[in-house]
Structure 1
Amino acid sequence: MKNSRLLIVGLLLVLLGSFTASRIQSGSGAIDVVDVVIAGKNGARLSALMFVPEGVSASTPAPAVVIAHGYVNQKEVMSNFSLEFARRGYVVLAPDLSGHGGSQVIPDDGSRGVGDMLRYVHALPFVHPDHVGLVGHSMGGWSVVTAALENRELVRTVVVVGSSQGGHEAGFMLGAPSVSKDAGFNFGVEFGKYDEFVAINYFDQKKAVDFVDSQWLKSPFNTEERVVLGKAYGDFARGTGRIATQSAETHAGVHQSSSAIANVLGMFQRSSPAPLQKDPLDQVWQFKEAASLVAYVGLILFMLGLLIKLLAMQPLSAVAQPVPPRAPQSPLVYAACAVLIVAAVALLLVPLQMWAMHTLGVSDTFPLLFANTSIVYFGAIQLGFLGLFCIWHLLIGRRRGETLLTYGLSTNPAVMEFDWRYLAKALSVALITVAGGYMLLAWIYGFWHVDVRWWMLLIRPLEAHRFSVAFAYVIPFVAIFFINNLLAFGWLRLKDFGSDLRNNLIWTLALFVVNSLGVALVIAAQMGSLYTTGQPYIGEVGYDTLMVILGNGFLPLFAVTSVFSTYCYRRTGNIYTGALLCGLLTTWMVVCYQPF
């Protein structure tokens, strides 16, 4: 029972958090949330989540809105917008865009599946055909503009968030066709005051706060003057309405912004009034986010508890072994290496990934661009410090009596030995631990239609077309954590701090700081620049800025892997179980959300 406590606590947190998130998302039963799968162009599978408020029927049709996420996101990331629209009586369809989440790639479709979703929702008998709108964040904004211009007769209102219209006419590779003053639908823009991508969306401006001076905003507003925030232009009843708003948010921050969500709700209220009138700031998404975070933490604790239980059960208990005795690393050597690692992680975050993106790109075996750049980035850093470690061993380590045994490379705690049967058991422990967490999440996801997530940081089940991809990515990720654990526990081993709990906590924290502080410093520099100068510190346009935003995902990843790496080493006496488990877990967490 003692070995089951954490397992039970984790399970209870997952169930409590997921149930609470589900009840909030469904309005305590007032909103029916269902999975939707349709066939898009070329027969591609398109996945979506639909929210249908109670009382909606063919005799009492409701206005509807299709809500599209941005690049390297999924439908769940827009759930805050979806929930608040549904609470006000709108039918909501939140799709995974082409190549994202559960949707397959649709080649040469500028709407990325939104056009197909628009036609689907417009044909639903319980949707008012004259009141169907589109909302899109970032790339989703370009997608909804494209879909609206291709299906003008189906759309009443289009709102882009952290995005724009136009770009194709300027020869820009991204963007969308331009929305004219007589496009046939109302058009709104919500753009964060600190949005990093102003130069992508409003090419003639350097600061997001100045997007109201952009010709790319003035053109659809049919004005030569600076656009006034919050002012209604045109006639919303006739489909010529235009309005722009701004919240004090970054590009990704609008997902967690009450003011941004309220602004978008207000735009739709002018065009297609909500069946259920609520103050735009009457919002409950924050509680769902908190509940999802509880479930996220619970899932990690559940897997850690399962790991502890497995290591106490026959025959897998043979994996648990004492840690070979070894003197801790010199504090000066540890500090010097830690500083070098943090500096390398910070300085190479953007340039190394940009090099990998432009030089290596993707392949049939490794089709996920940012998974590839992450592997090259972290892999190169690990290999570089592995070289330093080897030099240190030849010059100093051997004289200290260091061996492969003391570095955690032996499957026997007493003598240097390499036993494939031991590795098979270690792999079994890792596989069962991750599989147990996966099955629990898959049940939660399918039964309650909620993920375990906070903000953009989520874990979701893998669709069928992602499983085959995962098999390829698990090899490099295991290799990265094999080296990382070797460096952390074989070379830079800390001293003993007394109790086992204290050792686990301090070693985990130290590993997390060394692995992630460099990324955190880059993000802090970027945010500091945005909030003080209005411009990003790294990158004015393109993928370099995106690399920094995606860096947010590395922080929880390293928090989780630091826990498992440390516990596995201290419980098994070697680096194998931790490397295997962290490689599997990272593959799942990365492959589940990366776009094709």
Structure 2
Amino acid sequence: MKQSAARTLIAGCILVLVGSLLAHWVQTSGGTRIEDVRFTGDNGQTLSALLYIPANASADSPAPGVLAVHGYINSREVQSGFAIELARRGYVVLALDQSGHGYSDAPAFSNGFGGPAALRYLRSLDIVDPDNIGLEGHSMGGWTVLAAAAAMPDAYRSMVLQGSSTGSGRALPGTPDWPRNVSVVFAQYDEFAPLMWEVPRGSDVADSEKLQAMFGVDDAIQEGRVYGSVPAGTARVLHNPPVTHPGNHLSHASIGHTVDWFALTLSGAQTAGVTGQIWFFKEIGTLLAFVGFVVLLCGAIKQFIQFPTFAGLSGAPINTAWTQRNGKWWLLAALSMFIPVAVFYPVFSMAASMLPASSWFPQSITNQIIVWAVVNGLLATALGLVIKAEAVSFKSLSWFAAARFALAIVGVGYLALLLADYFFLIDFRFWFVGLKLLSLDQFQNMLIYLPPLLVFFLLLGRALHGGLSVSSDTVRQQYLSNAMVLAGGFAIFLLAQYISLFTRGLLLTPAEPLNTIVMIQFVPLLVIISTISTCAWRHTGSYVPGALINTMFVGWYIVAGQATQAV
């Protein structure tokens, strides 16, 4: 047992360290330096950003600058692919946390999303050439840079709208003269095509009358053709890469189009000797670190349970609900997999109107998640009462000791992220699935959301280990079975959703693009939850420690990664 715990701990530490080193090496390639900056925006709002400074930029030799902005319920790190490649080519890049996102003050959507203030800050840097400024934004980040362009029409030379649009109720309408020198990179399978460009499918964007009005034409736009004039500020180009709305971040084509557009419309970049794209290795690095984080938590569970202070928690599972899988087990497992999916959209819709963002519950998406969680905890319990298995007894333990144990486990993970941030300026993530450090405001908000999350994880843990455990399972089968039950339904449904999108150009639920993208995070998150819960149950004989650990972890993950709409 001791050797197994030590090996797991060491493996977790190695993965975190190797992943962090790889990510840091990639994002500082070519001598790029990264600074975590704060500056004051409109109405006293504090805004947060990562500033990528290439080796060639100095006060004596200012470099062209780019303001890069993420989309809704994301953060500055999601723009790292664009920032890394632009910085490698000599651009100073300011990757902004929009208002109410990341470490920028709430509320979201306020003060032009933070865009005008960010553009002023970028222009104020003595290492930036104020006559060579580009703007790049994804989704709502596009509306952020459009707000900056509207507020300061002479303060930039060109922009790239990634999966975004003019108008749409959030920005000024596009015209042949505004915005200045704009590239539209809109994915063929973008889930938001009707909202952004008023066409049913992303592949139809060239026929969008709204886009044609901005290009100054009245027929289909030719992809890749530059319309208008760069010196006159009227240049326009459309690219339609074969990815999804969030897929722009993981697209070499989308990032390449951005690099090419700024090379055409800005001057002063230092591109000699820079070829290809390396940003994806940073994604691999932060993914390795995230996997290491989960392994580290499991190692800490195994190790800490051996400490005298937690000796009362130690114990093996006493019994299981089933001796082997039969028809009733598979029925219960199938219902447990697909009921949470079936109620996902209806409960999210209900929660949006029933529990809007307020001073008590300030994050809209988090509010929807906790309502869904409590509903599904109750449904899981009811399901176990209808389809009954053998009664399972759990180890009796001290709740106070279990809480201290959970706090210690999560503390180990938080320390790992704190060190990775301090030494390497990274978080743990892949794509938009990211684990970030909490700000003080976010920590206070997390405390509000912990009680309903605890209810969910207690009910879920009891239903999972008390209703679906099988005595004949090996250790590996226990982990795989629990992961399948929690995450399998979402994985299967999302596979069907995106098969539909890639074959027909439409989701099965075309009216639910945002919640479908939110659902993507549920798959890896539920796998992590099942892993932590199973590990804790196997080593304590109770579902309570795992429920407490998951409550803290998920509360941290969600609140740090979501937009805050109220203060």
TM-score by length of 2: 0.95
- The answer as to 2:197 corresponding to 1:202 is yes
1:266 offset after TM fit, Å?
A: 1.2
SS of the aligned residue for 2:244 comes to: coil
Tell me which moved more, 476-485 or 84-93. 476-485
The 8 Å contact of residues 338 and 490 in structure 2, kept in 1 or not, is answered as no
Name the counterpart of 2:13: 11
1:185 offset after TM fit, Å?
A: 1.9
- The answer as to 2:225 corresponding to 1:223 is no
- The answer as to 2:174 corresponding to 1:179 is yes
1:482 offset after TM fit, Å?
A: 0.8
Name the counterpart of 2:507: 536
Write the deviation string for residues 455-512 of structure 1: whole angstroms up to 9, x where unpaired.
1111110011100011111111121111111111112221233xxxx32x21121111
Q: Which runs of 5+ in 1 are unaligned?
A: 169-174, 412-418
1:88 offset after TM fit, Å?
A: 0.5
- Mapped to 1, the partners of 2:467 and 2:21 lie a distance apart of 44
The one-letter amino acid paired with 1:236 is: V
Match runs of 1:432-581 below 5 Å: 432-497=408-473, 502-503=474-475, 505-540=476-511, 544-581=512-549
- Mapped to 1, the partners of 2:320 and 2:471 lie a distance apart of 9
- The answer as to 2:566 corresponding to 1:595 is no
1:278 offset after TM fit, Å?
A: 6.3
Name the counterpart of 2:165: 164
- Mapped to 2, the partners of 1:581 and 1:298 lie a distance apart of 17
Match runs of 1:69-80 below 5 Å: 69-80=70-81
375, 383, 387: which one pairs with 2:370? 375
Name the counterpart of 2:346: 351
The 8 Å contact of residues 98 and 113 in structure 2, kept in 1 or not, is answered as yes
Q: Which runs of 5+ in 2 are unaligned?
A: none
Name the counterpart of 1:322: 316
The one-letter amino acid paired with 2:15 is: L
1:589 offset after TM fit, Å?
A: 1.2
- Mapped to 1, the partners of 2:546 and 2:168 lie a distance apart of 47
Write the deviation string for residues 522-570 of structure 1: whole angstroms up to 9, x where unpaired.
2112211111111222124xxx221111111111111111111111111
362, 384, 400: which one pairs with 2:357? 362
The 8 Å contact of residues 515 and 558 in structure 1, kept in 2 or not, is answered as yes
Name the counterpart of 2:149: 148
1:35 offset after TM fit, Å?
A: 0.5
SS of the aligned residue for 1:353 comes to: helix
Name the counterpart of 1:416: none
Q: Judging changes above 3 Å, is the alpha-carbon distance between structure 1 residues 429 and 159 closer, same or farther for their aligned structure 2 residues?
A: same
The 8 Å contact of residues 522 and 548 in structure 1, kept in 2 or not, is answered as no
Name the counterpart of 1:116: 117
- Mapped to 2, the partners of 1:224 and 1:569 lie a distance apart of 64
SS of the aligned residue for 2:29 comes to: coil
Write the deviation string for residues 21-66 of structure 1: whole angstroms up to 9, x where unpaired.
11110115x1010011011112111100000001211221111000
SS of the aligned residue for 1:249 comes to: coil
The 8 Å contact of residues 47 and 98 in structure 2, kept in 1 or not, is answered as yes
Q: Judging changes above 3 Å, is the alpha-carbon distance between structure 1 residues 184 and 584 closer, same or farther for their aligned structure 2 residues?
A: closer
Q: Judging changes above 3 Å, is the alpha-carbon distance between structure 1 residues 484 and 426 closer, same or farther for their aligned structure 2 residues?
A: same
- The answer as to 2:105 corresponding to 1:104 is yes
Match runs of 1:253-264 below 5 Å: 253-264=247-258
- Mapped to 2, the partners of 1:457 and 1:183 lie a distance apart of 34
1:575 offset after TM fit, Å?
A: 1.1
The one-letter amino acid paired with 1:100 is: H
- Mapped to 1, the partners of 2:40 and 2:84 lie a distance apart of 25
Name the counterpart of 1:192: 187
The 8 Å contact of residues 262 and 281 in structure 1, kept in 2 or not, is answered as no
The 8 Å contact of residues 321 and 467 in structure 2, kept in 1 or not, is answered as no
Q: Judging changes above 3 Å, is the alpha-carbon distance between structure 1 residues 184 and 254 closer, same or farther for their aligned structure 2 residues?
A: closer
SS of the aligned residue for 1:153 comes to: coil
The one-letter amino acid paired with 1:11 is: C
1:182 offset after TM fit, Å?
A: 2.1
SS of the aligned residue for 1:238 comes to: coil
Q: Judging changes above 3 Å, is the alpha-carbon distance between structure 1 residues 355 and 337 closer, same or farther for their aligned structure 2 residues?
A: same
- Mapped to 1, the partners of 2:356 and 2:110 lie a distance apart of 21
Write the deviation string for residues 43-101 of structure 1: whole angstroms up to 9, x where unpaired.
11110000000121122111100000000100001100110110100000001100001
SS of the aligned residue for 2:220 comes to: coil
1:248 offset after TM fit, Å?
A: 0.4
Tell me which moved more, 95-104 or 323-332. 323-332
- Mapped to 1, the partners of 2:523 and 2:162 lie a distance apart of 26
The one-letter amino acid paired with 2:470 is: L
The 8 Å contact of residues 64 and 127 in structure 1, kept in 2 or not, is answered as yes
1:107 offset after TM fit, Å?
A: 7.0
The 8 Å contact of residues 258 and 281 in structure 1, kept in 2 or not, is answered as no
SS of the aligned residue for 1:350 comes to: helix
- The answer as to 2:541 corresponding to 1:583 is no
- Mapped to 2, the partners of 1:108 and 1:525 lie a distance apart of 33
Q: Judging changes above 3 Å, is the alpha-carbon distance between structure 1 residues 137 and 184 closer, same or farther for their aligned structure 2 residues?
A: closer
- Mapped to 2, the partners of 1:103 and 1:383 lie a distance apart of 36
SS of the aligned residue for 2:150 comes to: helix
1:276 offset after TM fit, Å?
A: 2.3
The 8 Å contact of residues 44 and 104 in structure 1, kept in 2 or not, is answered as yes
- Mapped to 2, the partners of 1:221 and 1:157 lie a distance apart of 15
25, 28, 38: which one pairs with 1:26? 28
- Mapped to 1, the partners of 2:357 and 2:275 lie a distance apart of 43
The one-letter amino acid paired with 1:523 is: L
Q: Judging changes above 3 Å, is the alpha-carbon distance between structure 1 residues 106 and 547 closer, same or farther for their aligned structure 2 residues?
A: closer
Write the deviation string for residues 382-413 of structure 1: whole angstroms up to 9, x where unpaired.
202312323556xxx6xx6x3xxx342x41xx
287, 300, 304: which one pairs with 1:310? 304
The one-letter amino acid paired with 1:347 is: A
The one-letter amino acid paired with 2:526 is: F
SS of the aligned residue for 1:341 comes to: helix
- Mapped to 1, the partners of 2:502 and 2:273 lie a distance apart of 29
The one-letter amino acid paired with 1:19 is: L
Name the counterpart of 1:126: 127
Name the counterpart of 1:415: none
The 8 Å contact of residues 162 and 251 in structure 1, kept in 2 or not, is answered as yes
Write the deviation string for residues 279-319 of structure 1: whole angstroms up to 9, x where unpaired.
99710011111111111111111121112110011121221
- Mapped to 1, the partners of 2:179 and 2:11 lie a distance apart of 55
- Mapped to 2, the partners of 1:566 and 1:17 lie a distance apart of 25
TM-score by length of 1: 0.91
SS of the aligned residue for 2:370 comes to: helix
Tell me which moved more, 279-288 or 221-230. 279-288
1:184 offset after TM fit, Å?
A: 6.5
Q: How many residues align?
A: 561
The one-letter amino acid paired with 1:235 is: S
Write the deviation string for residues 566-585 of structure 1: whole angstroms up to 9, x where unpaired.
11111111111111111111
